[in-house]
Amino acid sequence: MLQTALRYSHTLLKEIIQPGDQVIDATMGNGNDTLFLSELVGPEGKVYAFDIQEQALANTKEKLGDAAPQASLFLAGHETIETNVPEDHPIKAAIFNLGYLPNSDKTIITLPETTKQAMDAILKRLTVGGRMILVIYYGHDGGAAEKNEVLNYCGNLPQKSYNVLTYQFINQKNNPPILVCVEKKKGSQE
């Protein structure tokens, strides 16, 4: 069977992340991706995880327990990647789950402006062959605007520097998530 957007995002990450790599979970949520990334990079790697909600931070700390000392958790929006991840730290991969924290306040959502800031910061740090993955959930107020901004941003990245893939089930109801994967090409100057 075809993989869901979330499962495919993990497949795309597993293909490239090696022990010792540095990665970003731009929307830590309930900690599932933070834990997944921590397992991939191992104790010699580094995971930078961001969220603006204390509930997300608490949920992630609980999920990780003592198993992932390589994860640095920030109670801050992903737009702070620029200041919280040193520019000289090469990033192998990053993942976003855009929308809102499941089973929480649906009015607290990711926003196009801050997501764009985060994408800019990640692409500056992304290694050749590295991937930035965005899983876009857009069936909520404000979701369509962010979806359009992200697709426009990624669709306008220069072809000589990046490969950009979209993945979505187009015959499903209720706004199925869209996965976007941006891969930095060899010889990229950006």
pLDDT in tens, 41-53: 999 999 999 999 9
Reply yes or no on whether the pLDDT at 188 is more than 80. Answer: no
The chain-wide mean pLDDT, for the chain, equals 94
Cα angle 114-149-46, degrees, rounded to a multiple of 5: 45
- Please give the pLDDT value at position 190: 47
Section 100-105 average pLDDT? 82
Q: Residue 70 carries which DSSP code? A: T
How far is Cα 149 from Cα 128, in angstroms, rounded to an integer?
A: 24
Q: Residue 78 carries which DSSP code? A: G
Reply yes or no on whether the pLDDT at 189 is more than 60. Answer: no
Three-class secondary structure of residue 43 per DSSP: coil
> At what angle are helices 143-155 and 112-125 packed, to 10 degrees?
30
Q: What is the pTM of this model?
A: 0.95
- Domains of the chain (ranges plus CATH)? 5-184 (3.40.50.150)
Which of the residue ranges 88-92, 172-176, 180-184, 186-190 would you say has the lowest mean pLDDT?
186-190
pLDDT in tens, 121-169: 999 999 999 999 999 999 899 999 999 999 999 999 999 999 999 999 9
Give residue 1's pLDDT band: very low, low, confident or very high (50, 70, 90). Answer: very high
Section 60-67 average pLDDT? 91
Section 13-22 average pLDDT? 98
Say which residue, 41 or 105, is predicted with more confidence: 41
- Please give the pLDDT value at position 66: 86
Question: Which H or E run includes 179?
Answer: strand 178-184
> At what angle are helices 5-14 and 32-41 packed, to 10 degrees?
20
